[in-house]
Amino acid sequence: MTYRRAAIPALVGGLLLTALLWWAGASAHALHLPGATGMLDGQAAAELERWLAPWSYDPPASLQFGTEVSGRIGDAAGNAGTNYLALYTTALQIRFGAVFAFFVPGVLLLVRRLPPVPGRMPAALLAIWAWGLVAGTLAVTVSAPWLIASGGHGSYRFLPRLASMISSGRQVLVVTALVVAAVTVFIARVTAKGTAPLSQEAVPARAARLAATAGTAVIALSLVVLSYQPVAAALQRVSPDVGLLAEPGDLLRQWLLLGAWAGPGGAPLGGWLLYRAADVLLLAVVWWALRRLPGLLTRVTVPAMAACAVCATVLGLLASQLLRVAVDRAGSDLRWDLLRLSAGIGDGVPAALTCGLVAGSAAALTLRVVLGRGKITDATTSVQGSARP
């Protein structure tokens, strides 16, 4: 698929994702209406409001209070509050603009290398869905400094507060990104009609398995080794005294760890195995996706493999988190507890981005090395055969 054809679904998907997130944030105040409180109990409404707050233009109560102070001394406080409110508005503008800016290039690459044609449609849908979560997480990250500054204490524990903000707003992204992925794939399918037959590289099964194993080993390093509780605790305790960039432990944990690996300890062995089954599911999803990618991509390149590996890691995280929700839900009787248990859905996307990029690059390089050795072996064999009398 040409760039011109691929740009149409990417642009439409970016606009739709931005619009849906804006609409979700604008709907946050509806949770305070009598009808909403009558339909939902207070705990469920508070949880939903927390999910929607990162995408809402409604400022926090502290900023609203600052703009309403009157009097001579209050005028100065009111002006300061107005400035902080302007910072908050700027942060939201950057956030929505960044969603579009990060979503479009990624989807453009995915649609080019993984077009939604028969045989590739489910893979394209899942990849674009996962990339929507990545784009939203990156948008929250780049806009977080303005939100921190709007609180009036931008230099106090900056990195821990940045880590806290990065992990917000992900639950809404899971739903909106799925809707956007479906629309984007439909438009891409329409624009792909009439194009020439897509090329596809023939990759030996052994080379694809070795590449998938190399990429999965990178994910396992984060999931098992770095996420092991003593190692994770050591990472979180990293706190060099370098002023604004002090206490980076929480941020390192966000961007490096895919889970929280613990031994059985005092927990029942059956429950421990159920939680570890979610980790095994994550690795299985990543391996299977990396194994299939060389045969699905129209051209196996490092950027395409890296982007698709990120999407595969995000999908593995979602699958493992849904399994954990099902396990935890089995022992819960509260009516609203499912909403609370679902609060962890979409967590770990920053680490999936970091480890996925490395895993995809490792898989692509392994594939090139194995295929290069295979070509050298074939050439040597043919030369030796022709030299025989």
Can you spell out the DSSP letters for 241-253?
--GGG---HHHHH
Q: In this predicted structure, what is the pLDDT of residue 45?
A: 76
Q: How far is CA 172 from CA 25, 47, 142, 186, 221, in A?
A: 9, 12, 18, 22, 29
> What distance in Å separates the CA atoms of residue 302 and residue 362, rounded to the nearest whole number?
9
What values do phi and psi take at 228, rounded to 5?
Answer: -65, 135
Q: Hey, what are 78's tokens?
A: 């009111």
List 261's β-bridge partners, or say none.
228
Alpha helices in 257-296 (DSSP H): 269-296
Q: In this predicted structure, what is the pLDDT of residue 57?
A: 86
> What distance in Å separates the CA atoms of residue 329 and residue 347, rounded to the nearest whole number?
18
Measured from the Cβ of residue 145, the count of other Cβ atoms closer than 10 Å reads 17
CB of 87 within 8 A of CB of 66?
Answer: no
Measured from the Cβ of residue 25, the count of other Cβ atoms closer than 10 Å reads 21
- Could you give the count of Cα atoms lying within 13 Å of 14 in the half-sphere of its Cβ? 22
pLDDT tens, the chain, 389 aa long: 677 888 999 999 999 999 999 999 888 887 777 766 667 766 777 778 888 888 988 876 656 554 444 444 445 545 555 778 888 999 999 999 999 999 999 999 999 999 888 888 999 999 999 999 999 999 999 999 999 888 777 667 888 889 988 988 888 999 999 999 999 999 999 887 766 556 666 778 899 999 999 999 999 999 999 999 899 999 888 888 777 788 888 999 999 999 888 877 766 777 778 888 999 999 999 999 999 999 898 888 999 999 999 999 999 999 999 988 888 777 555 554 667 777 788 889 999 999 999 999 999 999 999 888 765 555 455 434 544 54
Say if residue 160 is exposed, middle or buried (CB neighbours under 10 Å; 0-12, 13-18, 19+): middle
CB of 305 within 8 A of CB of 361?
Answer: yes
Q: In this predicted structure, what is the pLDDT of residue 379?
A: 45
> What distance in Å separates the CA atoms of residue 102 and residue 14, rounded to the nearest whole number?
9
Q: In this predicted structure, what is the pLDDT of residue 388?
A: 52
Q: Hey, what are 328's tokens?
A: 């935890």
> What distance in Å separates the CA atoms of residue 164 and residue 8, rounded to the nearest whole number?
35
Q: In this predicted structure, what is the pLDDT of residue 70?
A: 40
Q: Hey, what are 180's tokens?
A: 């956007």
The DSSP call for residue 119 is: T
Q: In this predicted structure, what is the pLDDT of residue 349?
A: 94
> What distance in Å separates the CA atoms of residue 196 and residue 194, rounded to the nearest whole number?
7
CB of 356 within 8 A of CB of 313?
Answer: yes
Residue type, 318: L
Q: Scan for tokens 């909106």, then name that residue.
A: 176
Of 130, 128, 219, give the one whose Cα is nearest residue 170. Answer: 130
Q: In this predicted structure, what is the pLDDT of residue 80?
A: 56
Q: In this predicted structure, what is the pLDDT of residue 387?
A: 44
> What distance in Å separates the CA atoms of residue 118 and residue 317, rounded to the nearest whole number?
26
> What distance in Å separates the CA atoms of residue 335 and residue 332, rounded to the nearest whole number?
9
> What distance in Å separates the CA atoms of residue 247 and residue 287, rounded to the nearest whole number?
35
Of 48, 41, 51, 46, give the one whose Cα is nearest residue 336. Answer: 41
Please tell me whether the overall predicted TM-score, pTM, comes out greater than 0.85 for this model: yes
Residues sharing a CB contact under 8 Å with residue 13, sequence separation 6 or more, in sequence order: 103, 104, 107, 128, 132, 180, 181, 183, 184, 187
The sign of the dihedral angle between the CA atoms of 18, 20, 26, 32 is: negative
Q: In this predicted structure, what is the pLDDT of residue 176?
A: 95
CB of 183 within 8 A of CB of 12?
Answer: yes
